[in-house]
Amino acid sequence: MNFDLPKDVQEHISRIDTFINKTILPLQHKDDNNRFFDHRREASRTQWNNGGLPTEDWEALLKQAKKLADEAGFFRFAYPKEYGGAGSTQQNITMCAIRYHLASHPVYGGGVSLANDLQNEHSVVGNNPIVIMLHHYGTQEQKDKYIPASTNGTFRATFGVTEIHHGSDATHMDTTATPCKLDDGTPGYEINGNKKWQTGAHSATHSLIFARTSGKAGSPKGITAFIVPTTTPGFKVESFEWTLNMPTDHATISLRKVRVPASAILGPTDNGLAIAQTFTHENRIRQAASSCGAARFCIDASVRYAKQRVVFGKPLSANQAIQWPLVELSTQQEMLRLLILRTATEMDAVTATAHAAGRSPWIDIERKLGGKIGMCNYYANRLCCEAADRAIQVHGGVGYSREYPFEHIWRHFRRYRITEGSEEVQMRKVAAYLFGYKTTGEGDPQGAGAKL
């Protein structure tokens, strides 16, 4: 059994490093762009007197870096092949290896750099769930209209599942969509309800709104996804929620008599949750890789500092009180890294088998690997927070200051213990695999886990 990364994956990462060092880091260091990454980062990124929204020059810099990465052929690696993706049969292992590498790198790691600033999911290698959803569930007209527009930035969509009163209990959502006739007499739907934590709402052109179209609360059936332009009458941003890590682009929106044509439906009517679950596992394993990498960054930085810092006439690293917590974190991180990479490799194998049989891979991945993916995700996010906290402690006063990125890492990665499925939901999923409680809600005890 070989535990090394495949040679072509290693070579791809090497090319990314070359691109970052030749193109992205010089841009980061140009003029005063480092104000977005040094001790001034939060202030430079945030419009404190305009709802806490991101500053325009901050987002313009991210857009410039994305354009350079796309022109260099890196940004669209995980896209469908017909839209510029690599079409790799090792997509999950490659994306996990890339995200781990970028987050753990000693120079631009930790998720606080122009190469890979994870506060807003910016990276030179893109992770765009909406493209995958459109590719697999969109009509040809929707694909042609929205996928190229997503890449060039003229189509930007929020993801409308979470509500004011409902988060993980998505099947109990309050938002409804009822059939109606539009002004021109064509069939459509009227949407009423609300959505919360709509990331990117300040610049979104559309929102993918999930609404109940039939059935009872609690049923996974009867929920439909709609592509709703944010300019539609009745669609309103009510507020932007200030968060532990600023700037904020997480909106609460209301939908009052929002009317859309039937052509706005994405995927099957009454089975929209399948769309929401399309990219869940890929997103969770990639997030786990980023969190694991950021934990490695914090551990390595702490070891370097402890070896250099002299206290009471000897290196700080000579103290077992410093050594042992980092030994434990390093051990946990290394075991987790191997589990993430193995799980990603297994996901690629399951995907290849499913594609060979002519079916989508997500149900198979859920059946066979959902528990392992849950392990990777919840534990990585928790470990990263622990590693960042320990780095602050090892560095002492400067660790608490913004001279170092550890406080930023802790504040950012802390949210992943809630988003992408809270760690409690993830642990429940793992328990379901351990104790045999899996169910799709459709009488299949070994199915897709929609009720987990």
pTM of the full predicted structure? 0.93
Kindly report the backbone phi and psi dihedral angles of residue 120, in degrees, each rounded to the nearest multiple of 5, phi listed first: -125, 30
For residue 379 the two structure tokens come to: 């534990």
Torsion over CA of 149, 152, 157 and 159, rounded to 10 degrees? 110
**DSSP character at residue 24:** I
Fill in the amino acid letter for 350.
V
pLDDT value at residue 1 = 62
Give Cα 364 to chain centroid, integer Å: 22
Contact indicator for 262, 188 with CB cutoff of 8 Å: yes
Does 227 have pLDDT greater than 60?
yes
For residue 234 the two structure tokens come to: 């009745």
Relative to beta strand 157-160, strand 206-212 is parallel
Distances, alpha carbon 251 to alpha carbons 62, 248, 263, in Å: 21, 8, 26
In percent, the amount of the chain with pLDDT more than 90 equals: 82
pLDDT value at residue 450 = 34
Read off the pLDDT of residues 361-381 as tens digits, 9 standing for 90 and up: 888 998 899 999 999 999 999
Read off the pLDDT of residues 255-300 as tens digits, 9 standing for 90 and up: 999 999 999 999 999 998 888 777 788 999 999 999 999 999 999 9
Over residues 326-337, the mean pLDDT reads 98
**DSSP character at residue 55:** P
280-308 helix and 320-356 helix, angle to the nearest 10 degrees: 160
Contact indicator for 397, 391 with CB cutoff of 8 Å: no
Distances, alpha carbon 376 to alpha carbons 30, 105, 332, 408, 423, in Å: 37, 20, 12, 22, 10
Closest C-alpha to 195, from 166, 168, 169: 166
Read off the pLDDT of residues 394-430 as tens digits, 9 standing for 90 and up: 999 999 999 999 999 999 999 999 988 899 999 998 9
Does 151 have pLDDT greater than 90?
no
For 370-392, b/e burial (b = at least 16 CB within 10 A) is: bbbbbbbbbbbbbbbbbbbbbbb
d(CA 109, CA 299): 12
d(CA 343, CA 333): 15
d(CA 43, CA 241): 17
pLDDT value at residue 380 = 98
Read off the pLDDT of residues 336-370 as tens digits, 9 standing for 90 and up: 999 999 999 999 999 999 999 998 888 899 889 99
SS3 (DSSP) at 199? strand
Read off the pLDDT of residues 7-41 as tens digits, 9 standing for 90 and up: 999 999 999 999 999 999 999 999 999 999 999 99
Does 441 have pLDDT greater than 50?
no
Over residues 165-182, the mean pLDDT reads 93
**Which residues neighbour 121 within 8 Å (Cβ) at sequence distance 6 or greater?**
127
Mean pLDDT of the chain: 92
pLDDT band at 438 (very low <50, low <70, confident <90, very high): low
In percent, the amount of the chain with pLDDT more than 70 equals: 96
Does 448 have pLDDT greater than 90?
no
d(CA 272, CA 244): 31
Fill in the amino acid letter for 112.
V
Over residues 330-339, the mean pLDDT reads 98
Fill in the amino acid letter for 298.
C
- Please provide the CATH number assigned to the domain covering 157-266: 2.40.110.10
**DSSP character at residue 320:** H
Over residues 187-191, the mean pLDDT reads 97
Over residues 45-62, the mean pLDDT reads 96
Give Cα 428 to chain centroid, integer Å: 20
Q: What CATH topology corresponds to 7-128+275-435?
A: Butyryl-CoA Dehydrogenase, subunit A; domain 3 (1.20.140)
d(CA 444, CA 86): 35
* Beta-carbon count within 10 A of 34 CB: 15
Q: So where are the chain's domains?
A: 7-128+275-435, 157-266
**DSSP character at residue 30:** S
**Which residues neighbour 350 within 8 Å (Cβ) at sequence distance 6 or greater?**
361, 364, 365, 368, 369
Contact indicator for 189, 178 with CB cutoff of 8 Å: yes
pLDDT value at residue 172 = 93
